[in-house]
Copies of this chain bind each other. A is one copy, B any other.
């Protein structure tokens, strides 16, 4: 038996995306978004409601970053989601986050978030807030790289947002190998 929940915006897993932009005066800002994903061969889509300071910023500057929230920084991730840059322009300082300008995007990369995508604005829908960005670069702190220089979940602990319980979760153990496990069913 199945239960119907109606038209819910639920997906499992759902990411914790920290959208970084510059406000006027090069003041770094960040917000927390769960609605988004890879959109195309070189693009990401994220939903940013038009009243957000972030929407104003990315339309002015044409760039944004998308950092993946981490278990180590769950308090900071949640803080930038519940406090608006409209009410607290210095929220980045209040959260003890440290920003430096991206090498590829005119948007802040935060020291505390080890993996970030630097993006150029492609389109913004003022009705829905749907924001599409071209991914210019993925930047990762060396602290989350393995001995071969690859990002590894052994050191990098991205957050998952559960839209039902409103809990954040971490990534668990290996469950399988892509492009491999399915061969067992091949005739």
Q: Using a CB–CB distance below 8 Å, which chain A residues touch chain B?
A: 1-15, 17, 34-42, 44-45, 47, 66, 68, 71, 74-83, 88, 94-96, 103-104, 109, 115, 117, 128-130, 134-142, 145, 149-153, 156-162, 164-187
Contacts and interface: CB of A to CB of B under 8 A. Distances in A.
Nearest to A103: B4
Contacts of A3: 139-142, 145, 149
A140 to B, nearest CB: 5
B178 A167 contact: yes
Q: Which of A103, A117, A129, A176 has the most CB of B within 10 A?
A: A176
Q: Which of A38, A150, A166 has the most CB of B within 10 A?
A: A38
A177 B167 contact: yes
Given A11-B36, A79-B184, 7 more contacts: A5-B137, A11-B37, A14-B37, A15-B37, A153-B165, A167-B177, A169-B172
